[in-house]
Amino acid sequence: MLDIASLTELLAQPQKIVITTHHKPDGDAMGSSLGLYNYLIQLGHHVKVITPTDYPDYLSWMPGNETVIIYTDNLAEAATLIAEAKIIFCIDFNALGRINDMGALVGKSEAFKILIDHHLEPEDFDDYRYWDIKACATAQLIYKFIAEELGHKELINKEVATCLYTGIMTDSASFSLPNTTSEVHRITADLMDAGAVNWQINDLVYNNSSENRLRFLGICLSQRLEVLYEYNTAIIAVSKQDLEKYEITTGETEGIVNYALSIAGIRLAAFIVERANEVKLSVRSRGEIPANDICKKYFNGGGHRNASGGISTDSLEQVVNKFKSILPEYKTLLIK
Ligand code: 5GP
Ligand code: MN
Protein backbone atom coordinates (compact mmCIF):
# COMPACT_ATOMS: atom_id res chain seq x y z
CA MET A 1 0.00 0.00 0.00
CA LEU A 2 1.11 3.55 -0.73
CA ASP A 3 0.18 6.70 1.12
CA ILE A 4 -0.14 10.12 -0.48
CA ALA A 5 3.32 11.17 0.74
CA SER A 6 5.07 8.23 -0.91
CA LEU A 7 2.96 8.63 -4.05
CA THR A 8 3.91 12.33 -4.21
CA GLU A 9 7.56 11.35 -3.80
CA LEU A 10 7.27 8.75 -6.53
CA LEU A 11 5.73 11.30 -8.88
CA ALA A 12 8.47 13.82 -8.14
CA GLN A 13 10.85 11.86 -10.40
CA PRO A 14 10.13 11.04 -14.07
CA GLN A 15 8.60 7.56 -14.22
CA LYS A 16 7.31 5.13 -16.79
CA ILE A 17 3.57 5.35 -16.39
CA VAL A 18 0.67 3.50 -18.00
CA ILE A 19 -2.89 4.79 -17.77
CA THR A 20 -5.69 2.40 -18.58
CA THR A 21 -9.46 2.43 -18.45
CA HIS A 22 -12.42 0.14 -19.01
CA HIS A 23 -13.13 -1.60 -22.30
CA LYS A 24 -15.30 0.22 -24.80
CA PRO A 25 -14.27 3.50 -23.17
CA ASP A 26 -16.90 6.21 -22.85
CA GLY A 27 -16.48 9.98 -22.49
CA ASP A 28 -15.54 9.78 -18.85
CA ALA A 29 -13.08 6.94 -19.39
CA MET A 30 -11.28 8.80 -22.20
CA GLY A 31 -11.64 12.26 -20.67
CA SER A 32 -10.28 11.11 -17.31
CA SER A 33 -7.42 9.14 -18.83
CA LEU A 34 -6.33 11.90 -21.20
CA GLY A 35 -6.85 14.59 -18.55
CA LEU A 36 -4.47 12.70 -16.28
CA TYR A 37 -2.10 12.11 -19.23
CA ASN A 38 -1.93 15.82 -20.05
CA TYR A 39 -1.15 16.56 -16.40
CA LEU A 40 1.53 13.89 -15.98
CA ILE A 41 3.48 14.79 -19.12
CA GLN A 42 3.99 18.28 -17.69
CA LEU A 43 5.95 16.62 -14.86
CA GLY A 44 8.27 14.93 -17.34
CA HIS A 45 6.90 11.42 -16.97
CA HIS A 46 6.88 8.94 -19.82
CA VAL A 47 3.16 8.27 -20.09
CA LYS A 48 1.05 6.00 -22.31
CA VAL A 49 -2.71 5.65 -22.28
CA ILE A 50 -3.66 2.09 -23.29
CA THR A 51 -7.32 1.32 -23.91
CA PRO A 52 -8.44 -2.34 -23.87
CA THR A 53 -10.54 -1.77 -27.01
CA ASP A 54 -11.34 0.91 -29.54
CA TYR A 55 -13.69 3.81 -28.87
CA PRO A 56 -15.99 6.01 -30.93
CA ASP A 57 -14.94 8.84 -33.24
CA TYR A 58 -16.82 11.43 -31.19
CA LEU A 59 -14.23 10.84 -28.46
CA SER A 60 -11.19 10.80 -30.73
CA TRP A 61 -10.54 14.53 -30.82
CA MET A 62 -9.30 15.13 -27.27
CA PRO A 63 -5.78 16.51 -26.71
CA GLY A 64 -3.32 13.62 -26.50
CA ASN A 65 -5.62 11.22 -28.36
CA GLU A 66 -2.97 10.71 -31.06
CA THR A 67 -0.69 9.04 -28.49
CA VAL A 68 -3.26 6.50 -27.23
CA ILE A 69 -2.57 2.83 -27.88
CA ILE A 70 -5.44 0.39 -28.39
CA TYR A 71 -4.46 -2.90 -26.78
CA THR A 72 -6.15 -5.18 -29.29
CA ASP A 73 -4.23 -3.51 -32.13
CA ASN A 74 -0.85 -3.38 -30.33
CA LEU A 75 -0.56 -6.49 -28.14
CA ALA A 76 3.23 -6.71 -27.94
CA GLU A 77 3.89 -3.01 -27.40
CA ALA A 78 1.17 -2.79 -24.76
CA ALA A 79 2.48 -5.85 -22.92
CA THR A 80 5.99 -4.36 -22.82
CA LEU A 81 4.72 -0.99 -21.59
CA ILE A 82 2.68 -2.66 -18.84
CA ALA A 83 5.58 -4.90 -17.79
CA GLU A 84 8.03 -1.98 -17.65
CA ALA A 85 5.73 0.54 -15.97
CA LYS A 86 6.56 1.82 -12.52
CA ILE A 87 3.02 3.11 -12.03
CA ILE A 88 -0.25 2.00 -13.60
CA PHE A 89 -3.25 4.28 -13.19
CA CYS A 90 -6.50 2.31 -13.31
CA ILE A 91 -9.13 4.83 -14.28
CA ASP A 92 -12.92 4.59 -14.16
CA PHE A 93 -13.14 0.86 -13.45
CA ASN A 94 -13.35 -1.25 -10.34
CA ALA A 95 -12.34 -4.76 -11.40
CA LEU A 96 -9.58 -6.14 -13.63
CA GLY A 97 -12.23 -8.02 -15.63
CA ARG A 98 -13.35 -4.65 -16.98
CA ILE A 99 -10.10 -4.32 -18.97
CA ASN A 100 -10.49 -7.72 -20.67
CA ASP A 101 -7.24 -9.55 -21.41
CA MET A 102 -5.20 -6.62 -20.14
CA GLY A 103 -6.39 -7.51 -16.64
CA ALA A 104 -4.01 -10.46 -16.38
CA LEU A 105 -1.05 -8.31 -17.48
CA VAL A 106 -1.89 -5.48 -15.11
CA GLY A 107 -2.54 -7.97 -12.31
CA LYS A 108 0.90 -9.55 -12.57
CA SER A 109 2.79 -6.32 -13.19
CA GLU A 110 4.96 -5.10 -10.31
CA ALA A 111 3.97 -1.50 -10.94
CA PHE A 112 2.22 0.49 -8.24
CA LYS A 113 -1.44 0.46 -9.16
CA ILE A 114 -3.37 3.64 -8.50
CA LEU A 115 -7.15 3.29 -8.72
CA ILE A 116 -9.19 6.42 -9.41
CA ASP A 117 -12.85 5.55 -9.76
CA HIS A 118 -16.46 6.09 -8.77
CA HIS A 119 -17.92 2.59 -9.17
CA LEU A 120 -19.22 0.51 -6.28
CA GLU A 121 -17.11 -2.05 -4.45
CA PRO A 122 -13.70 -2.03 -6.16
CA GLU A 123 -11.80 -5.30 -6.23
CA ASP A 124 -8.66 -5.38 -4.16
CA PHE A 125 -5.92 -5.02 -6.79
CA ASP A 126 -4.64 -1.49 -6.15
CA ASP A 127 -1.85 0.05 -4.03
CA TYR A 128 -3.44 3.47 -3.70
CA ARG A 129 -7.09 4.39 -4.07
CA TYR A 130 -8.80 7.69 -4.77
CA TRP A 131 -12.37 6.54 -4.88
CA ASP A 132 -15.76 8.10 -4.28
CA ILE A 133 -19.04 6.64 -5.47
CA LYS A 134 -20.72 10.00 -4.97
CA ALA A 135 -18.64 11.57 -7.73
CA CYS A 136 -20.65 12.17 -10.89
CA ALA A 137 -17.66 11.25 -13.02
CA THR A 138 -14.18 9.88 -12.55
CA ALA A 139 -13.07 13.12 -14.23
CA GLN A 140 -14.32 14.99 -11.16
CA LEU A 141 -12.00 12.80 -9.07
CA ILE A 142 -9.06 13.37 -11.42
CA TYR A 143 -9.57 17.11 -10.96
CA LYS A 144 -9.56 16.71 -7.17
CA PHE A 145 -6.63 14.29 -7.25
CA ILE A 146 -4.51 16.81 -9.18
CA ALA A 147 -5.74 20.00 -7.50
CA GLU A 148 -6.24 18.83 -3.92
CA GLU A 149 -4.33 15.57 -3.33
CA LEU A 150 -1.23 16.57 -5.29
CA GLY A 151 -1.69 20.35 -4.92
CA HIS A 152 -1.09 21.07 -8.61
CA LYS A 153 -4.14 23.10 -9.56
CA GLU A 154 -1.91 25.39 -11.62
CA LEU A 155 -1.07 22.44 -13.88
CA ILE A 156 -4.70 22.10 -14.96
CA ASN A 157 -4.09 23.71 -18.33
CA LYS A 158 -6.35 23.94 -21.38
CA GLU A 159 -5.60 20.37 -22.44
CA VAL A 160 -6.25 18.86 -19.01
CA ALA A 161 -9.35 21.00 -18.56
CA THR A 162 -10.81 20.09 -21.96
CA CYS A 163 -10.50 16.37 -21.26
CA LEU A 164 -11.89 16.59 -17.73
CA TYR A 165 -14.80 18.76 -18.85
CA THR A 166 -15.66 16.11 -21.44
CA GLY A 167 -15.66 13.39 -18.77
CA ILE A 168 -17.89 15.34 -16.42
CA MET A 169 -20.27 16.48 -19.16
CA THR A 170 -20.78 12.97 -20.56
CA ASP A 171 -21.03 11.02 -17.28
CA SER A 172 -23.41 13.54 -15.71
CA ALA A 173 -25.60 13.34 -18.84
CA SER A 174 -24.92 17.02 -19.55
CA PHE A 175 -25.16 18.07 -15.89
CA SER A 176 -28.61 16.53 -15.48
CA LEU A 177 -28.16 13.66 -13.01
CA PRO A 178 -28.78 13.93 -9.26
CA ASN A 179 -25.04 13.68 -8.53
CA THR A 180 -24.41 16.95 -10.42
CA THR A 181 -23.76 18.86 -7.20
CA SER A 182 -22.77 22.48 -6.72
CA GLU A 183 -19.21 21.18 -6.32
CA VAL A 184 -19.42 19.70 -9.81
CA HIS A 185 -20.50 23.08 -11.18
CA ARG A 186 -17.67 24.82 -9.30
CA ILE A 187 -15.13 22.37 -10.72
CA THR A 188 -16.66 22.81 -14.17
CA ALA A 189 -16.35 26.59 -13.83
CA ASP A 190 -12.68 26.15 -12.89
CA LEU A 191 -12.18 23.98 -15.95
CA MET A 192 -13.73 26.68 -18.15
CA ASP A 193 -11.46 29.27 -16.56
CA ALA A 194 -8.53 26.98 -17.35
CA GLY A 195 -9.48 26.93 -21.04
CA ALA A 196 -12.19 24.30 -21.58
CA VAL A 197 -14.67 25.70 -24.12
CA ASN A 198 -18.03 24.26 -23.05
CA TRP A 199 -20.03 24.79 -26.23
CA GLN A 200 -17.27 23.46 -28.48
CA ILE A 201 -16.91 20.32 -26.40
CA ASN A 202 -20.68 19.84 -26.46
CA ASP A 203 -20.67 20.17 -30.26
CA LEU A 204 -17.77 17.77 -30.71
CA VAL A 205 -19.42 15.08 -28.59
CA TYR A 206 -23.12 15.47 -29.28
CA ASN A 207 -23.56 17.23 -32.61
CA ASN A 208 -21.45 14.79 -34.48
CA SER A 209 -23.93 12.09 -35.58
CA SER A 210 -23.81 10.37 -38.91
CA GLU A 211 -27.05 10.52 -40.93
CA ASN A 212 -27.30 6.74 -40.50
CA ARG A 213 -27.12 7.03 -36.74
CA LEU A 214 -30.04 9.43 -36.71
CA ARG A 215 -32.10 7.18 -38.99
CA PHE A 216 -31.24 4.20 -36.78
CA LEU A 217 -32.41 6.16 -33.75
CA GLY A 218 -35.69 6.74 -35.60
CA ILE A 219 -36.14 2.98 -36.04
CA CYS A 220 -35.30 2.34 -32.38
CA LEU A 221 -37.95 4.79 -31.23
CA SER A 222 -40.67 3.99 -33.75
CA GLN A 223 -40.27 0.24 -34.14
CA ARG A 224 -38.07 -1.30 -31.46
CA LEU A 225 -39.45 0.36 -28.36
CA GLU A 226 -41.76 -1.63 -26.11
CA VAL A 227 -43.39 0.04 -23.13
CA LEU A 228 -44.63 -2.10 -20.25
CA TYR A 229 -46.75 0.36 -18.32
CA GLU A 230 -47.70 -2.22 -15.67
CA TYR A 231 -44.04 -2.15 -14.60
CA ASN A 232 -43.19 1.42 -15.63
CA THR A 233 -40.51 -0.12 -17.81
CA ALA A 234 -39.44 0.48 -21.39
CA ILE A 235 -37.24 -1.74 -23.52
CA ILE A 236 -35.53 -1.06 -26.84
CA ALA A 237 -34.20 -4.25 -28.41
CA VAL A 238 -32.15 -4.15 -31.61
CA SER A 239 -30.78 -6.99 -33.69
CA LYS A 240 -27.48 -7.47 -35.44
CA GLN A 241 -29.34 -6.90 -38.72
CA ASP A 242 -30.52 -3.48 -37.52
CA LEU A 243 -26.92 -2.53 -36.69
CA GLU A 244 -25.63 -3.80 -40.02
CA LYS A 245 -28.32 -2.09 -42.06
CA TYR A 246 -27.39 1.33 -40.64
CA GLU A 247 -23.66 0.55 -40.22
CA ILE A 248 -23.86 1.34 -36.51
CA THR A 249 -20.64 1.06 -34.52
CA THR A 250 -20.57 0.29 -30.79
CA GLY A 251 -20.24 3.85 -29.58
CA GLU A 252 -23.14 5.03 -31.72
CA THR A 253 -25.70 3.21 -29.56
CA GLU A 254 -24.58 5.19 -26.50
CA GLY A 255 -27.36 7.22 -24.93
CA ILE A 256 -30.28 5.66 -26.82
CA VAL A 257 -31.45 4.01 -23.59
CA ASN A 258 -32.10 7.49 -22.16
CA TYR A 259 -34.91 8.09 -24.66
CA ALA A 260 -36.74 5.09 -23.20
CA LEU A 261 -36.26 6.49 -19.69
CA SER A 262 -37.53 9.91 -20.80
CA ILE A 263 -41.13 8.69 -21.18
CA ALA A 264 -43.29 10.13 -18.41
CA GLY A 265 -43.71 7.62 -15.60
CA ILE A 266 -41.03 5.21 -16.86
CA ARG A 267 -38.65 4.20 -14.06
CA LEU A 268 -36.63 1.44 -15.66
CA ALA A 269 -35.26 1.30 -19.18
CA ALA A 270 -33.14 -1.19 -21.05
CA PHE A 271 -31.39 -0.95 -24.37
CA ILE A 272 -30.68 -4.51 -25.45
CA VAL A 273 -28.45 -4.99 -28.46
CA GLU A 274 -27.29 -8.08 -30.27
CA ARG A 275 -23.61 -7.80 -31.09
CA ALA A 276 -21.26 -10.23 -32.86
CA ASN A 277 -21.08 -12.97 -30.21
CA GLU A 278 -23.12 -11.65 -27.34
CA VAL A 279 -26.05 -9.56 -26.28
CA LYS A 280 -25.25 -6.36 -24.40
CA LEU A 281 -27.62 -4.58 -22.06
CA SER A 282 -27.60 -0.96 -20.96
CA VAL A 283 -29.94 -0.48 -18.06
CA ARG A 284 -31.03 2.84 -16.55
CA SER A 285 -33.32 3.44 -13.62
CA ARG A 286 -34.76 6.13 -11.42
CA GLY A 287 -34.51 6.49 -7.65
CA GLU A 288 -34.14 3.35 -5.59
CA ILE A 289 -34.50 0.87 -8.43
CA PRO A 290 -31.19 -1.02 -8.45
CA ALA A 291 -30.17 -1.35 -12.09
CA ASN A 292 -26.81 -2.65 -10.88
CA ASP A 293 -28.41 -5.51 -8.89
CA ILE A 294 -30.45 -6.50 -11.91
CA CYS A 295 -27.34 -6.54 -14.11
CA LYS A 296 -25.21 -8.32 -11.53
CA LYS A 297 -27.75 -10.97 -10.62
CA TYR A 298 -29.05 -11.81 -14.08
CA PHE A 299 -26.68 -10.48 -16.74
CA ASN A 300 -23.07 -10.89 -15.54
CA GLY A 301 -22.68 -7.16 -15.16
CA GLY A 302 -23.00 -4.30 -12.73
CA GLY A 303 -22.35 -0.59 -12.49
CA HIS A 304 -24.03 2.28 -10.71
CA ARG A 305 -27.50 2.02 -9.12
CA ASN A 306 -29.11 4.09 -11.86
CA ALA A 307 -26.79 3.26 -14.78
CA SER A 308 -25.54 -0.26 -15.32
CA GLY A 309 -24.68 -2.74 -17.98
CA GLY A 310 -24.56 -6.45 -18.54
CA ILE A 311 -23.89 -9.12 -21.06
CA SER A 312 -25.34 -12.47 -22.09
CA THR A 313 -24.57 -15.26 -24.52
CA ASP A 314 -28.28 -16.10 -24.88
CA SER A 315 -30.19 -14.99 -27.97
CA LEU A 316 -31.66 -11.50 -28.21
CA GLU A 317 -35.17 -12.87 -27.76
CA GLN A 318 -34.15 -14.91 -24.71
CA VAL A 319 -32.49 -11.88 -23.10
CA VAL A 320 -35.54 -9.70 -23.70
CA ASN A 321 -37.80 -12.40 -22.22
CA LYS A 322 -35.49 -12.87 -19.25
CA PHE A 323 -35.47 -9.13 -18.62
CA LYS A 324 -39.27 -9.05 -18.68
CA SER A 325 -39.49 -12.10 -16.43
CA ILE A 326 -37.54 -10.44 -13.61
CA LEU A 327 -39.75 -7.34 -13.48
CA PRO A 328 -42.27 -8.86 -11.00
CA GLU A 329 -39.40 -9.20 -8.48
CA TYR A 330 -38.95 -5.40 -8.57
CA LYS A 331 -42.64 -4.52 -8.92
CA THR A 332 -43.01 -2.68 -5.60
CA LEU A 333 -40.10 -0.38 -6.44
CA LEU A 334 -41.18 0.03 -10.05
CA ILE A 335 -44.76 1.09 -9.39
CA LYS A 336 -44.04 3.21 -6.33
P1 5GP B 1 -23.36 1.39 -20.43
O2 5GP B 1 -24.81 1.10 -20.38
O3 5GP B 1 -23.09 2.81 -20.77
O4 5GP B 1 -22.60 0.40 -21.23
O5 5GP B 1 -22.83 1.19 -18.95
C6 5GP B 1 -23.30 1.96 -17.90
C7 5GP B 1 -22.45 1.68 -16.69
O8 5GP B 1 -22.63 0.33 -16.31
C9 5GP B 1 -20.96 1.83 -16.94
O10 5GP B 1 -20.52 3.08 -16.52
C11 5GP B 1 -20.36 0.76 -16.09
O12 5GP B 1 -20.19 1.27 -14.81
C13 5GP B 1 -21.42 -0.29 -15.98
N14 5GP B 1 -21.25 -1.45 -16.83
C15 5GP B 1 -21.58 -1.57 -18.13
N16 5GP B 1 -21.34 -2.81 -18.58
C17 5GP B 1 -20.87 -3.51 -17.54
C18 5GP B 1 -20.44 -4.86 -17.36
O19 5GP B 1 -20.48 -5.70 -18.28
N20 5GP B 1 -19.98 -5.20 -16.13
C21 5GP B 1 -19.96 -4.30 -15.10
N22 5GP B 1 -19.51 -4.71 -13.90
N23 5GP B 1 -20.36 -3.04 -15.22
C24 5GP B 1 -20.81 -2.64 -16.42
MN1 MN C 1 -17.45 7.06 -15.14
CA dist 161 and 236 (Å) reads 35
Same domain? 93 vs 220: no
Per-residue pLDDT tens for 192-217?
999 999 999 999 999 999 999 999 99
Q: What is the pLDDT of residue 1?
A: 86
Mutate to test the pocket of ligand 1, among 308, 311, 313 (most ligand atoms within 8 A of CB): 308
- Distance in Å, CA 245 to ligand 2 centroid: 30
Same domain? 32 vs 96: yes
Residue 270 domain boundaries? 211-334
- Distance in Å, CA 183 to ligand 1 centroid: 25
Which-ligand-closest: CA of 122?
A: 1
Per-residue pLDDT tens for 120-173?
999 999 999 999 999 999 999 999 999 999 999 999 999 999 999 999 999 999
19: phi then psi, degrees, rounded to nearest 5: -115, 130
CATH no. for residue 68?
Answer: 3.90.1640.10
- Distance in Å, CA 307 to ligand 1 centroid: 7
Residues by chain with Cβ below 5 Å of ion ligand 2 = 28, 92, 138, 171
Same domain? 189 vs 249: no
Last residue of a domain, one of 172, 190, 206: 206
Q: What is the pLDDT of residue 336?
A: 83
- Read off the pTM: 0.94
Last residue of a domain, one of 186, 206, 226: 206
- Distance in Å, CA 90 to ligand 1 centroid: 16
Number of structural domains (the chain) is 2
Last residue of a domain, one of 167, 189, 206: 206
- Distance in Å, CA 309 to ligand 1 centroid: 4
Pocket around ligand 1 at a 6 A CB cut-off: 119, 282, 301-304, 307-311
Q: What is the pLDDT of residue 56?
A: 92
271: phi then psi, degrees, rounded to nearest 5: -110, 115
- Three-state secondary structure string covering 174-197: CCCCCCCCHHHHHHHHHHHHCCCC
Q: Which residues contact 232 (CB under 8 A, 6 or more apart)?
A: 265, 266, 267, 268, 334, 335
CATH no. for residue 242?
Answer: 3.10.310.30
